[in-house]
Amino acid sequence: MSITMYQTTVPVLVRALTNLSGVLAKGAAHAKDRNIAEDVLLNTRITPDMFPLIRQVQIATDMAKGAVYRLAGEEAPKMEDNETTFEQLHARIESVIGMLKSFKPEQIDGSEGRDVVLKLRSGDMHFKGQAYLLGFVLPNVYFHITTAYAILRGVGVVLGKSDFIGKPE
């Protein structure tokens, strides 16, 4: 039995974002327990030239959202990127998870060869659907989720590998 584009997209991204939400919940609890202002954690960076935690979450959710819409041949809704609290980040993640879950397998399956064009400031990037998903989307989503995890771990939030990976299904 072969794996489908839908199986490689929606359930994988939903799980990754669900786990990210759990990591953020631990970050929010850490801030509250230690009387650390949320904006301090949300604006923490690993290094000065990397985005802060809040932007890592925005990029991960945008990348996941964009993937399903592009693979389905639809225009992805834009988000404002105006979150300033853990609560707002959780709402953003839940909103994107809802969008992902609204797609049916028949909307995504068969998109392996679909042309995907990303319009970037540096120029257009051209992909076929499968290469876009496997070589661009998934690595980017995991990069930004891993970076969010590392930022929180670096400030002392008690996190383990199981927080990142989640529970086996």
CA dist 42 and 40 (Å) reads 6
**15-62 pLDDT per residue, tens:** 999 999 999 999 999 999 999 999 999 999 999 999 999 999 999 999
Alpha helices in 48-127 (DSSP H): 53-71, 86-101, 105-108
Confidence (pTM): 0.95
Q: Residue 123: left if φ>0, alpha if ψ -120 to 50, beta else—which one?
A: left
Number of structural domains the chain divides into: 1
| Domain CATH code at residue 157 | 1.20.120.450
Length of the chain: 169
Share of the chain above pLDDT 90, in %: 95
Give the domain extent around 86. Answer: 5-165
pLDDT confidence of residue 31: 97
Q: Rounded mean pLDDT of the chain?
A: 96
